[in-house]
Amino acid sequence: MTDTFTIPVHVRAQQLEDQMVILDLRSGIYFGLNLVGSRIWELIKQGRTADEIAAVVVEEFDAPANEIEADVTALIGELVSRKLVEPL
Amino acid sequence: MSTLTICEPRAQAQLADQPIQEWIQPDGSRWAICHRVPGGYVMRFPGFADFEISHDARSVACHPVAETGQQTLEHIYRNQVLPMVLGRQGALTFHGCAVEIGSQAAVFMGQSGLGKSTLALSFATNGFRFLADDGLVIDDAGDEVDVVPGHPSIRLWHDSKDALAPRDADEAAGLAFTSKCRINAGRSIVFCDQPRRLSAVYFLENEAAKDVQLERIRPADALIRWVQHSFLLDVEDTDLVAGHFERVTKLATKIPCYRLDFPRRFEQLHAVRQVIADNVCSDTEAA
């Protein structure tokens, strides 16, 4: 949970209201994120670790820490598996 | 614009590299493939023709196979190649249809076979004019977003033509690659040859719906659908795709987008038209 991540140059994101759409320009794969997911994406972009991201989300969204930690880990895992983010 | 040159027929030689894009038909066969080659691209329609497109998409050379007729070549060029060429030149092109309602344009998008052309013909035979069928060009250069008129014909299945087209409709010659028919615009199926401001986009989806249902969709959901229905020649050109994504994001934010579900029965089309016409009017009043 101390890894940081980078967003490849061929991945672009657009925030629309409280949702975010991510597009992999090479593969054409797109991915939608809700409000919490969008915030996690922003924190990934800032170079935060998964632990730091979870802490910020717990504070901002007033949610149980264990749930948020699991959600952050799951989302980052999914983004990595789809090659939308890469471990540094 | 681009120049099209029809060359002498030739056999389709093996292309060297992996295609950058391919389009597969419902039966699993390849309808078209696109290869990057020195100087540009080749769009190949197996068994019909190769279209060599210059890198800037300003010129296109068509190399038909010997058996391909002129009508088939023209149709492939107009409906398949030209949208890609225009997209490569910077235009926004999509797989969709458009009709004029009031002085504005309503656009229909959706997967093949969900009834876009049938709905467009239904409008065009009931007091409205159609703007485009299949290759939809959108002009976002100014403050307004306009739909550019396409070719004045509609291509659809025979059952739709039989149910909706007037007896005096001008049916064009058949094409080698499809059993669909084409109807030219005329006195009874009226074409709008001037750009119209885009009022709303309707994404045709659930064909198992029991009645007509219209639901406004959020910009992020609309953006995904806009991207799905885009014509892009070189999906590996990241600058081009990124620019397209940004422009389409603006459209998804600016233009009201709706999910439209309705039973695919001809007798329901009157109700579908009414819902759409009312919706365009209410959006216009709200604006």
Listed as own residue / partner, the contacts of A38-41 with beta carbons closer than 8 Å and 24 or more positions apart are A40/A72, A40/A75, A40/A76, A41/A13
Q: Cβ(A70)–Cβ(A1) under 8 Å?
A: no
The answer to whether residues B140 and B216 belong to one domain is: yes
Residue B56: alpha-carbon gap to chain centroid: 22
The answer to whether residues B197 and B219 belong to one domain is: yes
Number of other residues whose CB lies within 10 A of the CB of residue B262: 22
| pLDDT score, position B277 | 94
Q: Note the pLDDT tens digit of each residue in B269-287.
A: 999 999 999 999 887 777 7
| pLDDT score, position A88 | 83
The answer to whether residues B57 and B148 belong to one domain is: no
Total of domains in chain B: 2
pLDDT of B236 over the 70 cut = yes
| pLDDT score, position B274 | 95
Residue where one domain finishes, among candidates B72, B88, B104: B88
The answer to whether residues B276 and B142 belong to one domain is: yes
Structural domain of B49 = 3-88
Query: End-to-end alpha-carbon separation of chain A, Å?
Result: 13
Residue A1 confidence class, pLDDT cut points 50, 70, 90: low
Residue B17 confidence class, pLDDT cut points 50, 70, 90: confident
In percent, the amount of chain B with pLDDT more than 70 equals 99
pLDDT of B101 over the 90 cut = yes
The answer to whether residues B66 and B150 belong to one domain is: no
- The answer to whether residue A16 neighbours chain B at the CB level (below 8 Å) is yes
Contact A14 B221 (CB under 8 A): no
Average pLDDT, chain B: 90
How far B246 CA lies from chain A's nearest CA (Å)? 8
The answer to whether residues B39 and B79 belong to one domain is: yes
Residue where one domain finishes, among candidates B54, B88, B122: B88
| pLDDT score, position B53 | 95
10 Å CB burial of residue B237 (0-12, 13-18, 19+) is middle
Q: Cβ(B90)–Cβ(B110) under 8 Å?
A: no
The answer to whether residues B25 and B131 belong to one domain is: no
How many Å apart are CA B65 and CA B30, to the nearest integer? 16
As for the ipTM of the complex, it is: 0.73
The answer to whether residues B51 and B130 belong to one domain is: no
pLDDT of A30 over the 90 cut = no
Closest CB to B245: pick one of A17, A20, A23: A23
CATH of the domain at B125: 3.40.50.300
pLDDT of B259 over the 70 cut = yes
Using an 8 Å CB-CB cutoff, list chain B residues near A16.
218-220, 223, 249, 252-253
Using an 8 Å CB-CB cutoff, list chain B residues near A28.
235
| pLDDT score, position B29 | 84
The answer to whether residues B148 and B273 belong to one domain is: yes
* Chain B residues with a Cβ under 8 Å from any Cβ in chain A: 218-221, 223-224, 227, 235-236, 238, 241-242, 245-246, 249, 252-253
Residue B192 confidence class, pLDDT cut points 50, 70, 90: very high
The answer to whether residues B22 and B156 belong to one domain is: no
Q: Which residues, listed in sequence order, are joined to residue B221 by a DSSP beta bridge?
A: none
Q: Note the pLDDT tens digit of each residue in B108-142.
A: 999 888 899 999 999 999 999 999 998 899 999 88
Alpha-carbon torsion, ordered A8, B239, B224, B1, to 10 deg: -170
pLDDT of B178 over the 80 cut = no
The CATH class for the domain spanning A5-87 reads mainly alpha
For chain A, the structural domain boundaries read 5-87
The answer to whether residues B133 and B170 belong to one domain is: yes
The answer to whether residues B107 and B247 belong to one domain is: yes
Amino acid identity at B184: N
Give a three-class secondary structure readout of B108-149: EECCCCCCHHHHHHHHHCCCCEEEECCEEEEECCCCCCEEEC
Using an 8 Å CB-CB cutoff, list chain A residues near B224.
21, 30, 32
pLDDT of B231 over the 90 cut = no
| pLDDT score, position B216 | 96
Query: End-to-end alpha-carbon separation of chain B, Å?
Result: 34
Listed as own residue / partner, the contacts of A58-66 with beta carbons closer than 8 Å and 24 or more positions apart are A61/A36
Residue where one domain finishes, among candidates B58, B88, B118: B88
| pLDDT score, position A84 | 92
DSSP-derived 3-state class of residue B92: strand
